[in-house]
Structure 1
């Protein structure tokens, strides 16, 4: 049995970050990963392939809208086989770089799934046994198949299948209205597929505010996506032509048919094969590995990071969790836990949504006095001349000093604009600090000055004590 200072189970973003960090500290590290291909969800079946396809279809969408801007573009269409080749080539480069890191010799790499046999020992699928003083669990997540009548028995796609398409489907029913569902539904619509979304919740993207979700819903309807929200699915079945979904909405029973079905009803932590009972590691009510602020599980020498523990399935957080866990495990001094009040999240629809820090609902629930102000893109010079007028920007600040607390952007280039505020938020800047900075005209970023100025005016108008 080989013994290590740290054993990392899963070589994705969180696991690789933990292994790399521990190796930099001079520790003996092993990584066990039994996936068919190395690289992790983000590189192989998540962030990078989806954003490759979304960018391509955004270019296609703008080309088709060229007439609005006075451009003569006779035909704009997709060659799915060529787009697929471009995606495969691009993702292969990212994956190869990760594989090089895993195979660099800085730590031992084992190609097998790990199963706990005790608090400090695991057995791999090939029978190899490993022991470690500390263990980091980063096995990610897998597609969830909820107990909807007929779903398991009906052939359906997952996000893996949609990301690997090399043809234009005639029609697709999308089950779900979360981030993956929305991003890939818009991709499908833009390549020419008839898309119907059936969502259980009253609106799309229940993780964001109602006003932000409404921006995406309007854009989807304008592009011809059929939306059914607030539904209850009664039955799914295969037909000679594809699939049929029977559901209720507003007290009425409806049936929608399509050539294909896309299950985008979420993901669940990938813990089933770990035999966590043997290690004494607890799960929470959502099936995720329970962790504290240092990423420690219920067994303090065992850590976890990434989708397997959450609470947010976001890559930059997974990396931060892996680095924090490794440093804490080996006694690095002066560590700070990940600050949940600095949460940054992006939905890559078009228009995209981005949130940073505390949002209105959280501020209200925590009884934090705050000021807020917003400004619409349809009254902003640069977005008007771009014909990109969906949405708004909204900022939140403390009611006494105007210190930035959070931001919400629903509109063009929100994914990049939000980064104008990440540094100031982390540095506890006020609206006055931000207004002292230069903002070039005409730019999209300039739109942020309007809510900043409004909050500054509200602060100036408050009664003096």
Structure 2
């Protein structure tokens, strides 16, 4: 009997860790790494591929599809090279490169990293089974200090008659398709819809983009959506705004799909991509065992601790908390949460050094950077003018033609773009910055630093941009502000 009890105790100890992380995407990996580096034992649970959505179905494969598009577009506007870049993209080469970037949908390399970091990997579907308990396909794991939910989000399909039976593309299908569809209908005017319309049109598909609202990228500055819409139209994308899908029909698997609109007309395509929103991957996570609603977003505080559950043991980082559905923001939250978990595990007081402290994920509300890898690119951080006014700030909006900067004329003939900064007049610091134009994603971090650090306008005058680069737009914006 004693031997049996000792065996059970040993087995229980083997399945007990300081921290359990659910989801091995970038958020989960970073949180696990931060906690383990601080001396805590960590196990990470994954039901699919280690590396998550970003590595195999989102950030990496989508940008692999888009980079040839923007490179060709820019090359066509460079004197001496335009003729060489005049031909179409070679789709098989682009798709093969995409496959390589996605590691051929194998996670061996990421698993080796976990091994080298000393983080245990448990394969299977995780479900909470009560406080600090996680069941993985019948195996019970226990956490001494914390369970971190980093399971991300999934595409949300709208309730449209016939849609589910028609087997539409989601973002996963759009980034991993094996061939170019002849006709593609894209529903949604956000980042995924725009990027995939851009990529597949350049690869040879006839693309129709359907948008319910009156424009694209409605959460960003209005000029961003306008410039992107103009470029899409020039590339041959058929853009229709102010329309809704009423019904979808596909008579045979793999056959054409018919999209019926509220205007009364119909569009026939080979594939239909729905890019209208995301939902949290919490529907089969066992939230009901701790008093939460399955399928709900997790409400968290600035340390990413779930506030609707007693105690300091449950955390939600990344998409699941709905603060900022971006990979880099999830990784940022993971670093904050990992540090907070470690401090609480060691019973060390959390750092109270203002809103930008080591245990406060405040950038998710004050300084979120984002790049839309369209043609032209859109890069933004912080508040738009409309959002700043809604928040009660007294502001000044400063715009400049990005194409008028010397560096832009060298970058490409006919460079089109625009820059905007939002100035808080009471404090004379930046609340937000938006750039639109080829290659502007690389300008964004300087804007992020200015917004996060609340650099005074007068101080920015002494941050001298190199000539002749596109970053000289900073000088032009400051000159326009001074008048």
How high is the TM-score relative to the length of structure 2? 0.87
Q: Does 1:114 align with 2:106?
A: no
Q: Over aligned residues, Cα RMSD in angstroms?
A: 2.2
CA distance, structure 2, for counterparts of residue 338 and residue 383 of structure 1: 35
**Within 5 Å, which residues of 2 pair with 1:198-213?**
198-213=210-225
Q: CA deviation at 1:177?
A: 1.3
Q: Distance in 2 between matches of 1:350 and 1:97?
A: 32
Out of 245, 251, 258, the position equivalent to 2:259 is 245
How far is the alpha carbon of 1:147 from its aligned partner?
A: 0.7
Deviating more after overlay: 373-382 vs 265-274:
373-382
- The 5 A counterparts of 1:266-277 are 266-277=277-288
Corresponding residue for residue 6 of structure 2: none
1:12 to 11, 25, 39: 25
With 215-224 and 68-77 compared, the bigger mean Cα shift is at 68-77
1:30 pairs with 2:24: no
1:368 is aligned to 2:374:
no
Of 404, 419, 428, the match for 1:379: 404
Distance 1:153 1:10 in 2: 29
How far, CA to CA, are the matches of 1:167 and 1:107 in structure 2?
A: 37
**Which stretch of structure 1 is more off in the superposition, 102-111 or 287-296?**
102-111
* More off after superposition, 141-150 vs 88-97: 88-97
Change (3 A) 1:389 1:66: closer
Map of 1:140 onto structure 2 = 152
Write the distance in 1 (CA, Å) between the matches of 2:398 and 2:419.
8
SS in 2 for 1:272: coil
Gaps of 5+ in 1: 458-465
State the alpha-carbon separation in 2 of the partners of residues 388 and 418 from structure 1: 22
Aligned residue in 1 for 2:341: 329
Match of 1:461 in 2: none
- Name which of structure 1's ranges 133-142 and 357-366 shifts more when overlaid on structure 2: 357-366
Q: What is the distance in 1 between the residues matched to 2:110 and 2:81?
A: 44
Equivalent pairs, count: 449
User: Secondary structure at the residue paired with 1:103?
Assistant: helix
Measured after TM superposition, the shift of residue 381 of structure 1 is: 3.2
TM-score by length of 1: 0.91
> 1:98-148 CA distances to partner (integer Å, 9 max, x unpaired)?
3222223612211011111111211112x2111113100011111212111
Q: Distance in 2 between matches of 1:221 and 1:61?
A: 14
Task: Flag structure 2 segments of 5+ consecutive residues without an equivalent.
Answer: 1-11, 352-357
User: How much has 1:183 moved relative to structure 2?
Assistant: 0.3
Residue number in structure 1 paired with 2:170 = 158
Partner SS state of residue 465, structure 2: coil
Distance, in Å, in 2 between the alignment partners of 1:275 and 1:82 is 43
Q: How does 1:358-437 map to 2 (within 5 A)?
A: 358-385=383-410, 386-437=412-463
Query: Structure 2 vs 1, CA of residues 14 and 74 (structure 1 numbering), >3 Å: closer, same or farther?
Result: closer
Cα gap change, 1:415 to 1:265, in 2 (>3 Å): same
| Counterpart pick for 1:440 among 463, 466, 469 | 466
Which among 65, 74, 85 is matched to residue 96 of structure 2? 85
Matched, 1:76 2:69: no
Q: How far did residue 27 of structure 1 move?
A: 1.0
| Distance of aligned partners of 1:368 and 1:66 in 2 relative to their CA distance in 1, 3 Å threshold | closer
Whether the 8 Å CA contact 2:339–2:359 is kept in 1: the answer is: no
- On the 8 A contact 2:77/2:414 being kept in 1, the answer is no
Greater mean deviation of Cα atoms: 384-393 or 152-161:
384-393
SS of residue paired to 1:129: strand
Write the distance in 2 (CA, Å) between the matches of 1:190 and 1:308: 33
Question: Per-residue displacement from partner, 1:293-320 (whole Å, max 9, x unpaired)?
Answer: 1111122310011111121111121112
- Measure, in 1, the Cα distance between the counterparts of 2:152 and 2:172: 15
What SS does the corresponding residue of 2:249 show, helix, strand or coil?
strand
8 Å Cα contact 1:371/1:396 also seen in 2: yes
Q: Identify the match of residue 298 of structure 2 among 289, 302, 307.
A: 289
* 2:361 aligned residue: 338
Secondary structure at the residue paired with 2:432? strand
Deviation of 1:73 (Å): 2.3
